[in-house]
Amino acid sequence: MQTAPHLAGNYAPVDKELTAYDLPVTGQIPPGLTGWYLRNGPNPHDAASGHWFFGDGMIHGVRIEGGRAVSYRNRWVRTSTFTDGAKVNDTEGNLDLTAGVANTHVVRHAGRTLALVESSYPYELTRELDTVGSYDFGGKLRTAMTAHPKTCPTTGELHFFGYSLTAPYLTYHQADATGELVISRPIDVPAATMNHDFNLSAGHVIFMGLPVVFDLEIARSGRGMPFSWNDGYGARLGVLRRDDPYGEVRWFPIDPCYVFHTLNAHDETGPDGRQQIVLHVMRYPELFRKNSTDSQQATLWRWTLDLTTGTVREQQLHDRAAEFPRIDDRLAGLDTRHGHATVTRTPAEGAPHGAVIRYDLRDGGVTSHEFGPGRTPGEAAFVPADNRPGGDGWLMTYVYDAASGTSDLVILDATDLTAPPVATIQLPVRVPYGFHGNWLADQPAEISLA
């Protein structure tokens, strides 16, 4: 029997948890870095799953201190699905939000490290990546939580949402800087759509109502993702003012498309004095159309919402297919000049080899780091070099080498992507393709593991 594509090659799971110390390094790790680079991704513990999106979450972490790669460890997130085989809906239809795979992202807020997937509660992890348990904000969270929350750099608030297959289909949440859940309100939408990400500016929360809609026929068949493209649903953006979180959501129509990931959003005054919201997103022309064999790719687009006219100007900014957009997170919701994205497709798939791209969102310039044949990077997280938001920094990403079957953690100079890597850390185990992660710098009270 042929192995399913999402279980073969570098999609194949690793079968062991491992801890290793004093990793070999080529180049020089920036000496001021102290913390963990963590990345989440699917790694089915029984080596089987019906879709890449459904594998059990595994965190891969590299500990860096004083110019050294101190350690590597990988750990499954032990959700109730992993330990007990729990399912989101039991035989009587009861919802269990602790059931899930926690395989999509790993973030930190109010001192807690959380592994996320959009279909369930987050799971809290220790500093050593052991699982504490599901986290529901002290019993206040009653929906699933998106894997893409946004932290406001000004207030420290965590903004997020949960979507559901039953009404209310979409709920907006906000937790304050201490981790207290202070706002939960339903957003009125007509159907269950796949809401993977959203947008945050200094003054607004912007939701995406896009035409990838829950499909009961697919769900009953068990053939994979229970969503499909729906020509009749349309596409629109919903704008909620942050200073009126229970107020009206204004909806702005856009051309049909799909967006998994947003780069950033900010408020600005247009040349005629009208107030605007500018969004940068990785846009697919369509996705998940039934019986389609077309391979759709995302490219960088700008949407400019005119809050006076209620219209949106849509503009493609670059034509190279890429995904996993990231910024300096200290500028989330603010006007940032630079963004980054990853080219992950391999030559065998009919695309150039892997690369990390740097966009200049003001003058349109684009530079890239090309990894060479057979070397495929994942998402590249921005690591600040100093206290100036938008200033110098590095990009960290796991890179798979097909020729050797191994993986490295590569550190690039974000301001000069054409230069060779600043450092390449050789890992003791292959890191399968995955989703999202972060550089988590040490808090002052943390103790070194060296």
The per-residue pLDDT for range 202-220, each reduced to its tens digit, is 999 999 999 999 988 887 7
How would DSSP label each residue in 248-263? Answer: PPEEEE--S-EEEEEE
Residue 112 in 3-state DSSP?
Answer: strand
Confidence at residue 91, expressed as pLDDT on a 0 to 100 scale? 43
d(CA 317, CA 359): 9
What is the DSSP code string of 182-249?
A: EEEEEE--SS-B-----EE-SSEEEEEE-SEEE-HHHHHHT-S-SEEE-TTT--EEEEEETTSTTSPP
pLDDT at 444: 52
Distance CA 377, CA 117 (A): 22
Structural domains of the chain, count: 1
Which residue range is the domain that position 64 belongs to?
1-147+435-450
Find tokens 């994942």 and name the residue: 378
Return the structure tokens found at 296.
């759709």
Write out residues in the chain with pLDDT < 50, as ranges: 90-93, 347, 445-450
Q: Are 61 and 72 in contact (CB under 8 A)?
A: yes
Q: CA-CA distance, 219 to 413, in Å (whole number)?
A: 45
Per-residue model confidence (pLDDT) at position 295: 78
C-beta separation of 93 from 149 below 8 A:
no
Q: Measured in whole angstroms, how far is the alpha carbon of residue 337 from the centre of its chain?
A: 20
Q: Write the DSSP string, 270-330.
A: -TTS-EEEEEEEEEES----TT-------EEEEEEEETTTTEEEEEE---S--EEEE--GG
Nearest to 399 by CA among 433, 357, 351: 433
pLDDT, residue 345, reads 66
Would you say residue 231 lies in a domain? Answer: no
Handedness of CA 268, 301, 437, 378 (dihedral sign): negative
Place of tokens 């110098």: 392
Cβ atoms of residues 391 and 382 within 8 Å: no
Tokens at 417, concatenated: 């992507």
For 33-90, write each residue's pLDDT tens digit: 999 999 999 999 886 677 888 899 999 999 999 999 999 999 999 999 999 988 876 4
Which residues have C-beta within 8 Å of that of residue 116, sequence separation ≥ 6? 40, 102, 104, 105, 106, 107, 122, 145, 146, 147, 149
Please give the Cα distance from 397 to 47 (Å, whole number).
Answer: 25
Do 216 and 264 meet the contact criterion of CB atoms below 8 Å apart? no
Token code pair at residue 228: 């499909």
Q: What pLDDT does 1 receive?
A: 60
Query: Is residue 51 one of the residues assigned to a domain?
Result: yes
Looking at the domain assignment, is residue 290 inside a domain?
no
As a whole number of angstroms, the distance between CA 260 and CA 212 comes to 11
Residues annotated as binding site? 148, 196, 261, 436
Q: 159 in a domain, yes or no?
A: no
3-state secondary structure of 44: coil
**Would you call 85 exposed, middle or buried from its count of C-beta atoms within 10 A (0-12, 13-18, 19+)?**
exposed
For position 95, what pLDDT does the model report?
A: 78
Tell me how long the chain is.
Answer: 450
In a domain, 332, yes or no: no
Residue 97, in any domain of the structure: yes
Q: Quick one: pLDDT at residue 8?
A: 87
Binding residue ranges for Fe cation: 148, 196, 261, 436
CA neighbor of 19 nearest in space, from 102, 145, 130: 130
